[in-house]
Amino acid sequence: MSARPLLPADLTCHDAGRTSRLVTPALRRILGQPDGERCRFPSCTRTRNLHAHHVRHWRDGGPTDLANLALVCSRHHTVLHERGFRLELGPDRLLTVRTRDDVPVPSRPRRPLQVPGDLQLVPPGAPTLTGDPLDLSHVAWVMARQAA
């Protein structure tokens, strides 16, 4: 059974405002739908151990409302608090992360875990195996050229 689409009333009926810092289970379920049950930190794809993070911190007057919450994994929740990163959450839930120096953290695709089949580690025409020791600097050079 799939979850029904969110209706506008769903988005605000579970907001706690300033009455509670903690996110209710109902608000957490609603938060997971638009955020896709994954960490919202750029390039992170973690889907476990997610925390509802106040974009405008609770201690700074931030409400416990959907419009002020974003899901982040444990690692990035710690990064946000300890390294002074700042979040900006637009009305369309587009999230921007900025460093302490106000530099946006880029969102870029992660590198694949597997080496593509067409990646050549040895350039065409390179000598075949001769039993000589491996030249690691040459291997690094070839890999750097293939990645570029």
What pLDDT score does 75 carry?
92
Sign of the C-alpha dihedral computed for residues 117, 122, 127 and 133 taken in this order: negative
Given a cut of 70, whether residue 8 has pLDDT beyond it is no
**What is the average pLDDT score of the chain?**
74
Question: Which residues, including other chains, have CB under 8 Å from residue 5's CB and lie 6 or more apart?
Answer: none
Confidence grade of residue 76 (pLDDT, cut at 50, 70, 90): very high
d(CA 125, CA 68): 58
97 close to 104: Cβ distance less than 8 angstroms: yes
Given a cut of 80, whether residue 79 has pLDDT beyond it is yes
d(CA 133, CA 35): 51
Confidence grade of residue 9 (pLDDT, cut at 50, 70, 90): very low
Q: Return the CA Rg of the chain.
A: 22
Q: Report the pLDDT averaged over residues 120-128.
A: 65
Confidence grade of residue 20 (pLDDT, cut at 50, 70, 90): low
The b/e string for 21-42 (b: 16+ C-beta within 10 A; e otherwise) is eebeeebbebbbeebeebbbbe
pLDDT in tens, 82-118: 888 888 888 777 888 898 898 888 876 545 555 556 5
pLDDT in tens, 43-54: 888 988 888 888
Cα within 13 Å of Cα(140), Cβ side: 3
